[in-house]
Structures are given as C-alpha cells and as structure tokens.
Amino acid sequence: MNLTIENLFAWYGQARALQDISLRVEQGSVVGILGHNGAGKTTLVRAIAGLHSQCRGNVEFGGASISGLKPSEIALRGMSLLREGSRLPASLTVRQNLVLGQRLARAREHTPRDIESVWEWFPILEPLRDRRAGLLSGGQRQALALAVCFISAPGLLLLDEPSAGLAPPVARELFGLIGRIAGTGLPILIVEQHPGWLIGLTSEVYLLEVGAIASHGSIETVLSSLKQSGV
C-alpha cells in the first residue's frame, strides 16, 4: 500500500516542528528518513501514525486520506508502527504478544501468519516463546516488536529508530530481519539517526534538518551532501 505525504506542517504550541514535508513510499520500496536529534524525525512518525494532532497537510495511505483519523483507525487500515523502545505488554510472553498481532490481522480482515512460521523468520525468538516480554533484552524486545508487526499482516511498516539503544552486533541482526521482510515486497518507511544501517536497504532517503527536507535521493547522494555541508 502506497503512502503519500503532501505539504505537511506540524507544531508544538507556537513552535514549528515540521515545514512543508512531501514524500512518497511506493509499494515494494524501502524509504529512509535521516536526521540528527531534534530534526523532526519522531514528530514526522507521530504525524503519519495519527499520534500528533497539531498538523496541517495531507497524508494518504492506500489511496485514501488518513489525515485527522485516530491512531487505532490508521492501524486498522494496515499501518504497523514499531516505536522507539519497542513498547510491548511486559507481562505477556513472546507467544502471547504474537497472538495479539494475529488478532490485529483479523481485525484488518486479513489472514495472519502462523506463529510457527514466525519462528522461521525470527529464530532468535523461538527459544524465548514462553518468556515474558518484560524479561527480554533490548534487542530481543525489538525483534519481538518487529515480529508482532509482521504477523499482523500490515500494508506498510513504519519503523521509528529501530537501532536506538542497541549494540552494533544486535542492530546488525535486527536490520538483517528488516531486510528479509523488505524482500517480501512490503513497503517500509524507516526513520534512523545512523545512516550506515540504511546502506543497501533503502531505495530512497530523505534528510531532515530543523524540520525541513534538506536533501533526498539515494543514500549515497544524501551522504555526499552531508560531507559537502560538513555536517
């Protein structure tokens, strides 16, 4: 399902956080959003997912406007958000969290993936199937959050800083999983602070600076513009 953002502005009170953002995520593509802390990346994610109400502009998902809809309504239309810090029901086991993902798929009127097949995609989780989410490591929680999104039969994945707080080897494993999912043709919009994780994964990247798009193109083009600006 395509995602189109046109002329999006956002504020916190009187302070403008996003300025005239326009971008598109096509079916089967992986689009990256880069930027330093305070660039507006998380505000953009929140605005797309319906979590930030002080916005102006249009967001279309699957050919229909979702501007002004509640987050739950946007989720039912097929958008799955993996938020920074992977917030999951801590008292539920890995398997129980996956069952919640299956319920969301049915609410979307889609057939969920079988849990046994998830172990093939996420082998790190199979030995942990009966462990409570609150007892998982940071990397394990991120993998579980991604698996819950995956099993819910989404039309698009919206990933907010998936590498945040993870050691490089753990982040590398997580991005390997994201790459496998991208290989199924599922469109992904991924927000990251570290450009290295987007190399070889994204078809297009947008660089945010102070709430505005400063550059966009291939990851190589954006990295070149960063070097030229000395940032």
How many domains are contained in the chain? 1
pLDDT reported for residue 227: 67
pLDDT reported for residue 191: 95
Question: How do strand 55-61 and strand 156-160 relate by DSSP bridges?
Answer: unpaired
For residues 44 and 49, give the distance between their C-alpha atoms in angstroms, rounded to a whole number: 9
Q: Tell me the pTM.
A: 0.92
pLDDT reported for residue 84: 73
Q: Kindly give the parts of the chain with pLDDT less than 50.
A: 231
Give burial (CB, 10 Å; 0-12/13-18/19+) of 46: buried
pLDDT reported for residue 87: 79
| Main-chain dihedrals φ then ψ at residue 114, nearest 5 degrees | -70, 140
pLDDT digits (tens, 9 = 90+) for 174-220: 999 999 999 999 999 999 988 999 999 999 999 999 999 999 999 99
pLDDT reported for residue 85: 65
DSSP-derived secondary structure letter, 92: S
pLDDT reported for residue 96: 98
The encoded tokens of residue 124 equal 């790190």
Give SS3 for 25: strand
CATH number at residue 110: 3.40.50.300
Task: Tell me the one-letter amino acid at 141.
Answer: R
Q: Which domain holds residue 92?
A: 3-229
